[in-house]
Amino acid sequence: MKSGFVDLHIHSDRSSDGDFSPDALARMAADTGFVAIAIADHDNVAAYPDALEAGRREGVEIIPNMEVTAMYDDREFHCQLPFLAWDSPRVAAIVKRVAELRWEEARRRIANLRSLGIGISWEEVTAASPDVAPLGVTIARILLDKPESRRDSRLRRYYDEGGRPLPPSFFYRDFFLDGAPAYVPKRHIPLLEVVDEAARIGAVAVLSHPGAYFQRTTHEDLVVLKDAGLAGLEVYTSYHDAGQVRFYLEEAKAFDLVPTAGSDFHGRVKPHVSFGSIREGGYEMVEALRERRPSR
Nearest Cα to Cα of residue 134 among 70, 72, 74, 69: 69
DSSP conformation class of 149: G
Q: Give the integer Cα–Cα distance in Å for 169 and 166.
A: 8
Judge whether residue 60 has pLDDT over 80.
yes
Q: Give the integer Cα–Cα distance in Å for 195 and 176.
A: 27
Q: Where are the domains of the chain?
A: 5-96+188-291, 112-175
Q: What is the pLDDT of residue 269?
A: 81
Q: Residues 153-204: pLDDT tens digits? A: 999 999 998 888 988 989 999 999 989 999 999 889 999 999 999 999 999 9
The C-alpha torsion from 93 through 239 and 155 to 184, rounded to 10°, is: 40
Judge whether residue 296 has pLDDT over 70.
no
For 5-63, the DSSP string reads EEEEEE--TTSTT--S-HHHHHHHHHHHTEEEEEE--BT--TTTTHHHHHHHHHT-EE-
Give the gyration radius of the chain's Cα atoms: 19
Judge whether residue 214 has pLDDT over 80.
yes
Alpha-helix residue ranges (DSSP H) falling in the chain: 22-32, 50-58, 89-115, 122-128, 136-145, 169-175, 191-198, 219-228, 242-254, 283-291
Residue 183, amino acid: Y
Q: Residues 226-253: pLDDT tens digits? A: 999 999 999 999 999 999 999 999 999 9
The confidence band for 1, taking pLDDT boundaries of 50, 70 and 90, is low
Q: Residues 107-128: pLDDT tens digits? A: 999 999 999 999 999 999 999 8
Q: Give the integer Cα–Cα distance in Å for 72 and 128.
A: 31
Judge whether residue 30 has pLDDT over 90.
yes
The CATH architecture annotation of domain 5-96+188-291 reads: Alpha-Beta Barrel (3.20)
| 202 in Cβ contact with 231 (< 8 Å) | no
Average pLDDT over residues 203-211: 97
Q: Pick left, alpha or beta for residue 217 (phi over 0 → left; psi -120 to 50 → alpha; otherwise beta).
A: beta
| Number of CB atoms found within 10 A of residue 246's CB | 12
Q: Residues 256-267: pLDDT tens digits? A: 999 999 999 988
The confidence band for 294, taking pLDDT boundaries of 50, 70 and 90, is confident
Residue 107, amino acid: R
State CA 144 to chain mean position distance. Answer: 22
Q: Give the integer Cα–Cα distance in Å for 70 and 189.
A: 5
Q: Give the integer Cα–Cα distance in Å for 184 and 166.
A: 23
DSSP conformation class of 235: E
Q: Give the integer Cα–Cα distance in Å for 160 and 177.
A: 23
Nearest Cα to Cα of residue 64 among 50, 78, 79, 82: 82
Q: Give the integer Cα–Cα distance in Å for 82 and 41.
A: 11
DSSP conformation class of 153: T
